[in-house]
């Protein structure tokens, strides 16, 4: 693969951390960003210990000032690939859903993606190349109870991506959304406990009856699978794949 510079949001843990480590292992220069500077540094230290190229930045994707500071720190250096991964979850019935949590989820997942994309597009256009990969979810395509904010925000990524795909069509820039079903991350572990509480069942029952039952293949998605798709979308042979939602769901949505 070509040696790209990739900026990953929410890379201090979970999917973002896994993608950062695999991207660095593949020879890319990784810009690890996270709201928590300590977790960003920890991810970067793990990568640097293997001798791979990495930098860490504190970044709040809901803050235009924070985004500007990171872009200024890069001093005009190109960002070839942006992975919009930052996100959070909260599980509750709508009438019990704190409005501030609802707003924050949409701010991070949808508005954050918008602001980060706006920040990197001018540089991508100057250099004549760019790849934007949004980490969506199976919940970009279907709904589940008790996740109104998350489902709304993840659905919004698809509409946003389609518009930006049209706006960048004259250039070698693409934007796509990967829509995985469950990946075994700390965020999903927390969801298991929350879902168990809401449904009044055990954690094992949540995994078996709620998370994996809709998937004919019946297994969690691996980090290697996700990075393989990212790498393909970044490659030259994917230059005509843009504005798409790519389901990685073990057959969930074909039923």
Out of 57, 150, 227, 252, the active site residue is 150
Query: What's the per-residue H, E or C state across 206-233?
Result: HHHHHHCCCCCCCCCECHHHHHHHHHHH
Q: Can 182 be counted among the known catalytic residues? A: no
Give the DSSP H/E element, type plus range, for residue 252.
none
Give the distance, in angstroms, between the CA of residue 149 and the centroid of all CA atoms in the same chain: 16
Residue 246 pairs in a beta bridge with 178
Q: How many helices (H) and strands (E) does the chain have?
A: 9, 7
What residues are labeled active site?
A: 150
């Amino acid at each position: 693969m070509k040696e790209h510079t990739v900026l990953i949001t929410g890379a201090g843990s979970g999917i973002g951390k896994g993608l950062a480590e695999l991207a660095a292992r593949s020879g890319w220069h990784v810009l690890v960003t996270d709201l928590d500077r300590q977790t960003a540094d920890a991810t970067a230290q793990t990568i640097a210990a293997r001798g791979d190229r990495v930098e860490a930045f504190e970044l709040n994707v809901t803050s235009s000032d924070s985004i500007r500071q990171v872009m200024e720190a890069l001093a005009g250096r190109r960002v070839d690939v942006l992975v919009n991964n930052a996100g959070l979850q909260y599980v509750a019935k709508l009438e019990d859903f704190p409005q501030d949590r609802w707003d924050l989820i949409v701010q991070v997942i949808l508005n954050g993606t918008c602001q980060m994309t706006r920040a990197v597009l001018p540089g991508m256009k100057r250099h004549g190349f760019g790849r934007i990969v949004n980490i969506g979810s199976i919940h970009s395509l279907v709904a589940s109870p008790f996740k109104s904010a998350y489902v709304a925000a993840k659905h919004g990524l698809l509409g946003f991506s389609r518009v930006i795909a049209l706006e960048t069509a004259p250039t070698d820039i693409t934007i796509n959304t990967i829509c995985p079903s469950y990946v075994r991350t700390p965020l999903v572990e927390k969801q298991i406990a929350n879902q168990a509480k809401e449904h009044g069942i055990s954690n094992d029952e949540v995994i078996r009856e709620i998370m994996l039952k809709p998937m004919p293949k019946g297994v969690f998605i691996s980090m290697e699978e996700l990075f393989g798709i990212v790498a393909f979308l970044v490659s030259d042979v994917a230059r005509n794949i843009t504005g798409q939602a790519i389901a990685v769901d073990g057959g969930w949505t074909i039923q």
